[in-house]
Amino acid sequence: MFLESSETTYYKTPLGIAKITGNEDGISSIAVIDTEIEIPKVIPICLQECVQQLDEYFNKTRTEFSVKLNPKGTEFQQKVWKELTTIPFGKTRSYLEQSKKMGDVKAIRAVASANGKNPIWIVIPCHRVIGSDGSLTGYAGGIWRKKWLLEHENPSPQQSLF
């Protein structure tokens, strides 16, 4: 069996350190870690575009990502994650709405579970999915990060989501 090799780098964000993993086939994971580590000076070539796009996102000059993705997951999870990428910057969708978009209202728990297993933080924007009542529910990186990201994307007080 052939194992794909992958590269890793770290990027400092306003929400903590992002650990980015991927190779020429695309980004396989972006996870926020709560450990302070030294950020490498040299970024592997296959991860440079991802770091640049995250930097632009946090500096409010990017609203859509175009970096190549290669997340690992089941066929269903892949479909859910692909659907997440259709939620526009600054907008939210409820878990129920996402289930409807997936074609099965009864799959709401499965959709929520797949959202929770999203391996690519921010770029696959699971932070844009909220409860039907507008509540900030379930976020692997912590609710405070979800709130920060949503406010980062929609800063106008008159349009506040909360």
**3-21 pLDDT tens trace:** 568 999 999 999 999 999 9
Catalytic site residue 126?
yes
pLDDT category at 160 given cuts 50, 70, 90 is: very low
Residue 114 lies in a domain: yes
Residue 1 lies in a domain: no
Residue 11 lies in a domain: yes
What's the domain count of the chain?
Answer: 2
The model's pLDDT over 59-81, given as tens digits with 9 standing for 90+, comes to: 999 999 999 999 999 999 999 99
**CATH number of 86's domain:** 1.10.10.10
**Residue from 111, 126, 129, 130 carrying the catalytic annotation:** 126
Nearest to 23 by CA among 85, 86, 67, 78: 67
The model's pLDDT over 110-152, given as tens digits with 9 standing for 90+, comes to: 999 999 999 999 999 999 999 988 889 878 888 999 999 999 9
| Distance between CA atoms of residues 54 and 154, nearest Å | 17
Q: Which two tokens stand for residue 20?
A: 């980015």
HEC string for 98-138: HHHHCCCHHHHHHHHHHHHCCCECCCCCHHHEECCCCCCCC
Is there a single domain that holds both residue 113 and residue 151?
yes
- pLDDT of 159 over the 50 cut: no
Is there a single domain that holds both residue 107 and residue 45?
no
The range of the structural domain enclosing residue 33 comes to 7-58
Is there a single domain that holds both residue 144 and residue 104?
yes
